[in-house]
């Protein structure tokens, strides 16, 4: 199946600063490989015809032919009658399935290590709650005790919530897509911050909705422009990460929230407030008011669907997230959910319940850990890349680093050659934008962060770029 045909102009945009020091045809095939591996060019995409691409890139047709030939030989693409060269797989040949080398540092995921107390919690789960393991072991809404614990936490944070307003999900991304496919129809308008969490953007787009963008910068929010775009777009569903945003690490100013909320809900629109990273602060834990609490009227508050997760605070492997919405919408989501999954496992829910009993303590430990990791990253960047700008962040798991030039994709390729995997900026916006930025997750251990910056410096100085065979896993989470 042909998912889409890429025009030469579009591919040139996506390639950005692709020329390294090697042979042009190799540089080109390696750059295309990189874009396929990180999901920017989806499987099933027909690449541009050779002649227009060679003209658009200003290289000879032989260069393009040779690079397409190399893509075919690697198994990444194949020739299709009438369609030309089509991307066939994201991970070709055995190299794609090989485990990452031991020495490799993977910064494409912003996932903290499991919380240190997880083992003890698991051991307690069986001992303390044997009754939970006597039933079928999964359900579509969530155990009442867990829903109550989640609801109580919202109430304590300043947003009165009852257990019937909560559904337990398989993590936050499951929640995002479930909401999107329940509320959006093909052709509806949706809105997302730019940059934003790429999987959420894809969840909106997968419904067939149009996805408009709300620009947010690493150094602040332009309230007037945000409100004007929100009013003009009048979206049916908006996806926001109001606190400790992924990837920028910034939080929306309090004074913008109620006005934005009023604007976005004026025509009956809903808002997903993804709070996966909201309570992950740096240094000192501080109370974070839920986004919905900024609503001035009950109907506006009811239009906010809040998503949360234990994925970054306790462990991603638990696959425990949740949705807070009106009881009516929760009921609708539960029906919709059964089409695609049959529920959340009891095991994870019991551990989640125990984790929430000591959640403040867990968050306090994370705040200290992340602050130290952020500091290590900042020091190493200052030492090795004084030309980069690493903004101060209020929390979350990542910083949006300005490279001072449009070479994020090239840096990511150079890093891969030296055993560092990075998510380049374009992964977080619409194709071709954010070439000046990379997302640096400070969820990684300090030693890895320091080492990865040193390796990037060496890679950049060498002008090296990755061999496609060395690029393995590129999904961004």
Residue 197 in contact with ligand PLP, rule: CB under 6 A? yes
In this complex, which beta carbon is closest to ligand PLP, that of residue 70 or of residue 248?
248
Candidate segments 203-211, 249-257, 309-317, 424-432, binder of ligand PLP by CB under 6 A: 309-317
* CB of residue 311 to ligand PLP, shortest distance in Å: 3
Burial class of residue 7 (count of CB atoms within 10 Å of its CB; 0-12, 13-18, 19+): middle
Q: Cα separation of 323 and 136, whole Å?
A: 23
Question: What is the smallest separation between the CB atom of 325 and ligand PLP, expressed in angstroms?
Answer: 16
Instruction: Give the x-and-dash track for 121-140 against ligand PLP (CB under 6 A).
Output: --------------------
- The residue (of 110 and 159) whose beta carbon lies closer to ligand PLP is 110
| Out of 192, 241, 261, 420, the residue judged to bind ligand PLP by CB under 6 A | 241
Cα 247 to Cα 194: distance, rounded to the nearest angstrom? 10
- Nearest-CA neighbor of 112 among 398, 408, 413? 398
The residue within the footprint of ligand PLP, chosen from 16, 269, 321, 425 (CB under 6 A), is 321
Interface residue with ligand PLP among 20, 142, 171, 242 (CB under 6 A) is: 171
Instruction: Write the interaction track for ligand PLP spanning residues 75-114; mark x where CB under 6 A is met and - where it is not.
Output: -----------------------------------x----
Closest distance to ligand PLP from the beta carbon of 110 (Å): 5
Q: Which stretch binds ligand PLP (CB under 6 A): 53-61, 168-176, 341-349, 419-427?
A: 168-176
Closer Cβ to ligand PLP, 197 or 388, answer by number: 197
User: How many CA atoms, within 13 angstroms, populate the side-chain half-sphere of residue 473?
Assistant: 15
The Cα–Cα gap between 314 and 279 comes to: 12
Size of the site for ligand PLP (CB under 6 A): 15
Minimum gap (Å) between residue 473 Cβ and ligand PLP = 15
Which is nearer to ligand PLP, 92 or 171 (by Cβ)?
Answer: 171
User: In b/e form, how buried is each residue of 127-139, taking b as 16+ CB within 10 angstroms?
Assistant: eebeebeeeeeeb
User: Nearer to ligand PLP by C-beta: 63 or 276?
Assistant: 276
Q: Which residue is nearest to ligand PLP (CB)?
A: 171
CB of 235 closer than 8 Å to CB of 189? yes
Identify which range of 112-120, 169-177, 256-264, 353-361 contacts ligand PLP by CB under 6 A: 169-177
Q: Which is nearer to ligand PLP, 466 or 476 (CB)?
A: 476
Count of other CB atoms within 10 angstroms of residue 386: 9
Selected from 173, 190, 281, 303, the binder of ligand PLP by CB under 6 A is 173
Among 76, 172, 292, 393, interactor with ligand PLP by CB under 6 A: 172
Q: Does 276 bind ligand PLP (CB under 6 A)?
A: yes
Query: Which C-beta is closer to ligand PLP: that of 96 or that of 311?
Result: 311
- Binding string, residues 243-272; x marks residues near ligand PLP by CB under 6 A: ---x--------------------------
- Residue among 263 and 309 whose Cβ is closer to ligand PLP: 309
Nearer to ligand PLP by Cβ, of 424 and 468: the residue is: 424
Spatial neighbors of 311 by CB under 8 A, at least 6 apart, are 111, 171, 172, 276, 318, 319, 320, 321
Q: Residue numbers of the site for ligand PLP (CB under 6 A)?
A: 110, 171-173, 197, 241, 246, 274, 276-277, 309, 311, 316, 321, 477
């Amino acid at each position: 199946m042909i998912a889409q045909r890429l025009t030469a102009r579009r591919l040139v945009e996506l390639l950005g600063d692709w020329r390294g020091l090697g042979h042009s045809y190799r540089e080109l095939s390696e750059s295309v490989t990189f874009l396929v591996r990180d999901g920017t060019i989806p499987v099933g995409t027909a690449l541009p015809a050779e002649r227009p691409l060679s003209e658009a890139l200003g290289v000879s047709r032989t260069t393009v032919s040779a690079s397409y030939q190399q893509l075919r030989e690697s198994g990444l693409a194949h020739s299709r009658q009438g369609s030309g060269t089509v991307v066939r797989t994201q991970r070709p040949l055995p190299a794609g399935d090989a485990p990452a080398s031991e020495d490799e540092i993977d910064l494409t995921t912003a996932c903290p290590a499991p919380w240190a107390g997880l083992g003890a919690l698991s051991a307690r789960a069986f001992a303390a709650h044997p009754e939970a393991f006597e039933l079928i072991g999964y359900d579509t809404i969530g155990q009442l005790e867990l829903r109550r614990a989640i609801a109580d936490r919202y109430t304590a944070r300043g947003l009165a919530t009852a257990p019937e307003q909560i559904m337990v999900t398989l993590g936050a991304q499951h929640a995002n897509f479930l909401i999107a496919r329940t509320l959006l129809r093909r052709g509806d308008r949706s809105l997302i911050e730019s940059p934003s969490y790429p999987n959420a953007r894809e969840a909106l787009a997968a419904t067939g909705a149009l996805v408009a963008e709300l620009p947010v910068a690493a150094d602040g929010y332009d309230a007037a422009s945000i409100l004007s775009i929100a009013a003009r777009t009048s979206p049916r569903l908006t996806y926001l990460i109001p606190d400790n945003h992924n990837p920028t690490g910034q939080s929306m100013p309090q004074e913008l929230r109620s006005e934005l909320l009023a604007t976005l809900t004026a025509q009956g629109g809903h808002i997903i407030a993804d709070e996966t990273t909201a309570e992950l602060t740096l240094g000192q834990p501080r109370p974070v008011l839920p986004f919905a609490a900024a609503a001035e009227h009950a109907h506006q508050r009811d239009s906010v669907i809040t998503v949360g997760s234990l994925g970054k605070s306790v462990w991603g492997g638990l696959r425990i997230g949740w949705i807070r919405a009106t009881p009516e919408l929760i009921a609708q989501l539960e029906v919709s959910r059964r089409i695609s999954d049959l529920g959340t496992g009891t095991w994870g829910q019991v551990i989640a319940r125990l984790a929430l009993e000591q959640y403040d303590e867990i968050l306090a430990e994370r705040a200290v850990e992340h602050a130290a990791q952020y500091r290590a990253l900042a020091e190493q960047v200052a030492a090795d890349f004084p030309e980069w700008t690493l903004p101060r962040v209020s929390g979350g798991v990542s910083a949006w680093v300005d490279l001072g030039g449009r070479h994020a994709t090239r840096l990511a390729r150079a890093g891969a050659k030296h055993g560092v995997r990075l998510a380049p900026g374009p992964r977080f916006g619409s194709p071709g934008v954010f070439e000046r930025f990379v997302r640096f997750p400070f969820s990684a251990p300090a030693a890895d962060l320091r080492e990865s910056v040193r390796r990037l410096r060496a890679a950049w100085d060498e002008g090296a770029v990755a061999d496609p065979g060395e690029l393995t896993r590129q999904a961004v989470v």
